[in-house]
């Protein structure tokens, strides 16, 4: 956990919502609010409200959904902006009394005391492409649900197994007609129609994202693809979810952010459990899980690594491999060098 410890003359805590924001401004010497009011979620209204406190001011808010515009507004006006990690800000969520006025003051006091837990303010230039990539993942999972529904319905009617994977267009003709019931035929035909639309949408999205990646970071994209098991989609996902690799000082910080480790929790020398599962990036955890599954395919050296890990770790072998791939990716991006499987085999 990292905290914002820089001292400022004025500190502004913002309880941010879609249509409104509650402001609390305090100074470094006195915790009593100098400003405590509710304003519209509008750039001009915000700037007017803090106009008298602009001298050495820092603005902080929790990483809720609408933070983009406030971060960009502060950047454009040379106002330091910090983003709070929502899972670490227990002082807000654990209170007996909770409302916008109380929350904004707590945010301000956390900032003032140097106990404000930081989240990453993703760079504006890459932000829209990252969000588009996440939207592509959402559509892909909806497509997968349709494919699974067809396979499950085929089993439900006890029909012969499908001749091939429905992800390929050539295997789709005649699937709906194999059902005798007209309603079942209509259900499967609807699924196939939607899958065809998703195919078209996904192709277009992937080309758009790939063009952006070749402008933003072509070298890093190429280096990520040198890892067996990481194709173009996983490389794009890792590239945009990581952002700037230099924000991680240590490889341990990176693999923790990727949810590839579960740190022990101890008290009085006794093990009392593991750390929370949800702190970190779920998209990166999925990416490295998929990379581990694809790593041994058509890769004899990778197959030997997996067999060795299975003998040592049994059911946890793929989790250990995902962790190793996460460490490898960290050094690939940090050192700007291609993947070396010999280093992975020796680790």
Taking only the tens place, the pLDDT of each residue in 103-152 is 899 899 999 988 899 999 999 999 999 999 999 999 999 999 999 999 99
Q: What is the pLDDT of residue 92?
A: 67
Element (H, E) at 36: strand 30-40
Q: What is the pLDDT of residue 347?
A: 63
Q: What is the pLDDT of residue 86?
A: 86
Q: CATH homologous superfamily of domain 3-119?
A: Ribonuclease H-like superfamily/Ribonuclease H (3.30.420.10)
Q: What is the mean pLDDT of residues 229-249?
A: 96
Q: What is the pLDDT of residue 264?
A: 75
Q: How confident is the model at residue 35 (pLDDT cuts 50, 70, 90)?
A: very high
* Residues with Cβ within 8 Å of residue 276, at least 6 apart in sequence: 87
Cα–Cα distance, 337 to 186 (Å, whole number): 52
Q: How confident is the model at residue 93 (pLDDT cuts 50, 70, 90)?
A: low
Q: Average pLDDT over the chain, rounded to whole?
A: 92
Q: What is the pLDDT of residue 2?
A: 86
Q: What is the pLDDT of residue 163?
A: 86
Q: What is the mean pLDDT of residues 14-41?
A: 93
Terminal C-alpha separation, the chain? 27
Displacement of CA 155 from its chain's centroid (Å): 35
Q: What is the pLDDT of residue 263?
A: 75
Q: What is the pLDDT of residue 278?
A: 74
Q: What is the pLDDT of residue 178?
A: 92
More confident residue, 94 or 28: 28
More confident residue, 275 or 19: 19
Q: Is residue 91's pLDDT more than 70?
A: no
Q: Is residue 38's pLDDT more than 70?
A: yes
Strands 20-27 and 10-16: antiparallel
pLDDT digits (tens, 9 = 90+) for 240-287: 999 999 999 999 999 999 999 877 777 777 777 777 677 889 999 999
Q: What is the pLDDT of residue 201?
A: 97
Cα–Cα distance, 113 to 94 (Å, whole number): 18
Q: Is residue 346's pLDDT more than 80?
A: no
* Residues with Cβ within 8 Å of residue 344, at least 6 apart in sequence: 305, 324, 325, 328
């Amino acid at each position: 956990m990292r905290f914002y410890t820089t001292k400022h003359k004025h500190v502004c805590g913002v309880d941010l919502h879609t249509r409104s924001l509650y402001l609390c401004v305090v100074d470094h010497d006195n915790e009593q609010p100098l400003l405590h009011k509710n304003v519209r979620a509008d750039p001009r209204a915000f700037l007017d409200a803090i106009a008298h406190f602009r001298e050495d001011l820092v603005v902080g808010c929790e990483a809720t959904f609408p933070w983009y515009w406030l971060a960009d507004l502060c950047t454009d006006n040379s106002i330091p902006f910090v983003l709070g990690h929502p899972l670490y800000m227990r002082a807000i969520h654990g209170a007996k009394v909770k409302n916008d006025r109380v929350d904004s003051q707590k945010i301000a006091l956390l900032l003032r005391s140097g106990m404000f837990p930081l989240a990453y303010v993703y760079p504006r230039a890459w932000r829209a492409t990252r969000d588009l990539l996440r939207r592509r993942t959402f559509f892909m999972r909806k497509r997968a649900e349709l494919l699974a529904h067809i396979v499950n319905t085929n089993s439900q009617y006890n029909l012969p197994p499908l001749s091939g994977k429905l992800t390929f267009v050539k295997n789709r003709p005649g699937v709906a007609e194999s059902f005798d019931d007209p309603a079942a035929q209509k259900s499967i035909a609807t699924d196939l129609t939607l899958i065809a639309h998703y195919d078209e949408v996904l192709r277009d999205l992937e080309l758009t994202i790939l063009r952006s990646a070749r402008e933003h970071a072509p070298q890093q994209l190429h280096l990520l693809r040198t890892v067996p098991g990481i194709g173009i989609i996983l490389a794009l996902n890792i590239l945009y979810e990581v952002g700037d690799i230099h924000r991680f000082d240590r490889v341990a910080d990176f693999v923790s952010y990727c949810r590839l480790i579960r740190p022990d929790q101890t008290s009085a020398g006794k093990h009392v459990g593991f750390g929370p599962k949800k702190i970190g990036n779920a998209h990166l955890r999925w990416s490295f899980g998929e990379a581990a599954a694809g790593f041994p395919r058509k890769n004899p050296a990778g197959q030997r690594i997996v067999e060795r890990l299975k003998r040592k770790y049994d059911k946890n072998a793929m989790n250990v491999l995902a962790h190793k791939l996460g460490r490898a990716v960290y050094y690939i991006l940090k050192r700007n060098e291609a993947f070396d499987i010999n280093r992975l085999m020796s680790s």
